[in-house]
Amino acid sequence: MIEILKYQNNLQAEWDQFIDTSDNGTIFQKQKFLSYHVSRKFENHSLIFKKKGKIIAVFPAAIKQEGKKKILFSHPGASFGGIVYKNISFEDCSIIIKLIEHEAHHNGCNQIFIIQTPTIYNTLSNNEIIDYCLRDRNFKNKERYLSSIIPINEDVNNQLKKISRNKNRTQSYYNNLIRKHELKFRWVDSFKEFYPILLKNKQKHNAKPTHSIEELERLKLLFPKEILQLMIYNNKQAIGGLTLFKTNNISVIIFYSMFDYNFTNIQPITLLMQYIIPWSKKNKIQFIDYGISHQPNNKNPLAPNKSLIKFKEEFGSFVSIRNTYNKILNDK
């Protein structure tokens, strides 16, 4: 028999420890991560599932009000949520989804919305048991996000040479750029140099960053080893940077990738990527998630940004899908 428990703050350590040892957990499902949303307008309604006294799955979720709709959402405060599990059977998976439906209905929710963790984050294999069971319970694919994944090869030097060829350049060309412009790479603990660059980039596309600088600083305090900021400098001037979230033991996601357009000729992002790939290999990272490539200001916000996808493909990326699932419970 599977027992369902509503998450309480005194269970944070047990929850986060389970995420670390689970098959598909990431930083985004840790309560420590989700707790930084203190000012956001949703109510934590995360669920724990136990069998024979041991946690077999958790469901990071919040109840969110959208007009007359009351939604059990997994999760409005993270890139993805979904069911996080360890050694789960098909039968147990089906029961857990039924329990989630019952919990949502019991709390007066009209629907359930889930951003499921992409199968590529599974540390054992690309297990698609959750996706199958959700469809079996008549959950519908509401949105599908295209994400670019860069695998880290055994031979990193050859990988870098291939990237240069994809851009019709040689590796020596980029090495000369670094020497000519006296470029330096540096890991920093503050976002004060990067955030103005980020704002200008976003404003150019009529968009805003997901995080305020205060939220990024808070996340850095909570996760000093997982939230990382890499900068590139021309002399002493910051000209670009990558914000990395170390999602689990095998992956990092590039959450922000921005540069000062006054230095386009130096190609800061290409140089940062050529720096981060060997770093990933050294730190036993198996792949880099370069994020989604869509057009949020388009009439269809899920329309692919083809030029951005092509740019990411030049680094050897392939496509992974972030699936979202939706189920209408009633007509309240």
What pLDDT is stored for residue 10 in this prediction?
95
- Using one digit for the tens of pLDDT, what is the confidence trace for 207-243? 889 899 999 999 999 999 999 999 999 999 999 999 9
β-partners of residue 318 are 149
pLDDT at position 158 over 50: yes
What pLDDT is stored for residue 123 in this prediction?
83
What pLDDT is stored for residue 38 in this prediction?
58
Rounded percentage of the chain residues whose pLDDT exceeds 70: 95
pLDDT at position 315 over 50: yes
What pLDDT is stored for residue 170 in this prediction?
87
Burial of residue 193 (CB within 10 Å: 0-12, 13-18, 19+) is middle
What pLDDT is stored for residue 66 in this prediction?
86
C-alpha to C-alpha distance for 332 and 283, rounded to whole angstroms: 50
230 or 298, higher pLDDT: 230
Reported as a pLDDT band with limits 50, 70 and 90, residue 14 is very high
Domains, in order of start, for the chain: 2-144+323-328 (3.40.630.30), 153-285 (3.40.630.30)
User: What count of other Cβ atoms lies within 10 Å of the Cβ of residue 9?
Assistant: 9
pLDDT at position 119 over 60: yes
Tokens read off for 252 = 């990092």
Across the range 244-260, mean pLDDT stands at 95
pLDDT at position 41 over 90: no
What pLDDT is stored for residue 218 in this prediction?
93
pLDDT at position 40 over 70: no
Reported as a pLDDT band with limits 50, 70 and 90, residue 125 is low
Q: What are phi and psi of 40, to 5 degrees?
A: -80, 155
Reported as a pLDDT band with limits 50, 70 and 90, residue 77 is confident
- Give the chain's mean pLDDT: 92
Considering the entire predicted model, what is its pTM?
0.92
- Using one digit for the tens of pLDDT, what is the confidence trace for 172-193? 999 999 999 999 999 999 999 9
What pLDDT is stored for residue 124 in this prediction?
75
Reported as a pLDDT band with limits 50, 70 and 90, residue 332 is very low
With beta carbons less than 8 A apart as the criterion, state whether 183 and 271 touch.
yes
Burial of residue 281 (CB within 10 Å: 0-12, 13-18, 19+) is middle
Across the range 76-90, mean pLDDT stands at 92
What pLDDT is stored for residue 231 in this prediction?
98
C-alpha to C-alpha distance for 111 and 64, rounded to whole angstroms: 10
Helix (H, G, I), strand (E, B) or coil at 120: helix
Across the range 141-145, mean pLDDT stands at 87
C-alpha to C-alpha distance for 117 and 25, rounded to whole angstroms: 8
Reported as a pLDDT band with limits 50, 70 and 90, residue 126 is low
Rounded percentage of the chain residues whose pLDDT exceeds 90: 75
